[in-house]
């Protein structure tokens, strides 16, 4: 077993763990997060459009992440209540951002490993 193989196994396990945590957020915490942002029309519109199937839940969480990343953009459009977004619990905010950052970094590391091993 080469050292690179251990790296791939570790990153694969890490991505699987991220996927399980992401599914938990989609099915156990999404409604709670949406209730926390109950005054935001953008959230209500996306909830009606995307419903509760797995892809819809994924899109709804992605839109919530967008609102939390760029609240001023959505406030200028009149889609959100800025006070409610700014008072969003920091622990949930950091948790959501950590999930997305972890997935991004894992996929980036696998891509870099693939390029290094291929060329």
For residue range 24-37, list pLDDT tens digits in order. 999 999 999 999 99
For 82-109, the pLDDT digits (tens) are: 999 999 999 999 999 999 999 899 889 8
The pTM of this model reads 0.84
Residue 8: which domain range?
3-118
Please count the residues of the chain: 119
For 28-72, the pLDDT digits (tens) are: 999 999 999 999 999 999 999 998 899 999 999 999 999 999 999
Count up the domains in the chain and report the number: 1
**Are 36 and 89 spatial neighbours (Cβ–Cβ below 8 Å)?**
yes
Specify the pLDDT at position 12.
85
């Amino acid at each position: 077993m080469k050292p690179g193989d251990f790296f791939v196994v570790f990153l694969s396990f890490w991505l699987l763990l991220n996927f399980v945590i992401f599914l938990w957020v989609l099915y156990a915490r999404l409604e709670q997060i949406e209730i926390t942002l109950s005054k935001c029309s953008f959230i209500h519109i996306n909830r009606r459009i995307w419903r509760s199937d797995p892809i819809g839940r994924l899109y709804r969480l992605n839109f919530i992440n967008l609102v939390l990343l760029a609240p001023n953009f959505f406030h200028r459009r009149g889609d959100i209540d800025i006070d409610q977004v700014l008072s969003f619990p920091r622990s949930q905010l950091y948790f959501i951002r950590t999930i997305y950052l972890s997935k991004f970094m894992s996929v980036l590391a696998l891509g870099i490993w693939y390029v290094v091993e291929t060329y």
